[in-house]
Amino acid sequence: AQSVSQHNHHVILSEAASLELGCNYSYGGTVNLFWYVQYPGQHLQLLLKYFSGDPLVKGIKGFEAEFIKSKFSFNLRKPSVQWSDTAEYYCAVTTNAGNMLTFGGGTRLMVKP
Amino acid sequence: DTGVSQDPRHKITKRGQNVTFRCDPISEHNRLYWYRQTLGQGPEFLTYFQNEAQLEKSRLLSDRFSAERPKGSFSTLEIQRTEQGDSAMYLCARGQGTNTGELFFGEGSRLTVL
């Protein structure tokens, strides 16, 4: 079965700092990769997704993620964070073996104004 | 608006009681999911419906848990004889797009078992 690890549990940044959140998955076959975000008091929503093709994908609000197959990684990046990016970020994966989306434990990002 | 309505938003119950949560997608969608999220953890898959058929169930779904989607529209998740370990946020999601990972989540139903 697949699993997802997010090594940074809590990240605190100042506005305008660059962001990189780590995500590693374990699965030997083809995967689809996702980042979901949950802003305070709101529902989980899709930030970006990777299915195939260009390993660098761009999502909403200036976020991007890079799939590195050899490292089983799908790190999330943003060049300059804003206070409004304060949220919980979840990396997730699906495989061709089932219908479930498997989430990592999440990273809580706090951006100081 | 995610197009997924969940009710109740918060339920407090005593251990041993039964609880039921309801999920209403705004319009009929083939794929409907239930997830559970405990404090400090990511959501965990519970079960999946394709129309009214329950096609996949997690091992997390013990015999005390049952989910239905009788007409392929709304869905219910019932927990019998609740235990303190059942305290969590129960999330419903509908599929978007064609990939199983693209989901619209509802705001969840928080269960507190005393």
Question: pLDDT digits over A65-109, tens only?
Answer: 999 999 999 999 999 999 999 999 999 999 877 778 999 999 999
Q: List, run by run, the mean pLDDT of 10-residue segments along chain B (114 residues).
A: 90 98 83 93 93 88 92 92 96 85 93 97
Q: What pLDDT is attached to residue B98?
A: 74
For residue B50, give the chain A residue with the closest CA: A99
> What is the distance between the alpha carbons of residues A55 and A33, in angstroms, rounded to a whole number?
11
Residue B5 touches partner A, C-beta closer than 8 Å: no
Residues of B with Cβ-Cβ distance to A49 under 8 angstroms: 99, 101-102
The answer, yes or no, to whether residue A8 has pLDDT greater than 80, is yes
pLDDT, one tens digit per residue, over A28-67 is 888 999 999 999 989 999 999 999 999 999 999 999 999 9
Per CB-CB distance under 8 Å, the chain B contacts of A46 are 102-103
**Residue A102 vs residues A4, A27, A31, B8, B42: alpha-carbon distances, Å:** 7, 11, 11, 25, 9
pLDDT of residue A97: 72
Helix/strand/coil (H/E/C) assignment for every residue in chain B: CCCEEEECCEEEECCCCCEEEEEEECCCCCEEEEEEECCCCCCEEEEEEECCEEEEECCCCCCCEEEECCCCCCEEEEECCCCHHHCEEEEEEEECCCCCCCEEECCCEEEEEC
A97 to chain B, any CB pair closer than 8 A? The answer is: no
Mean pLDDT of chain A: 94
- pLDDT at position B28, please? 62
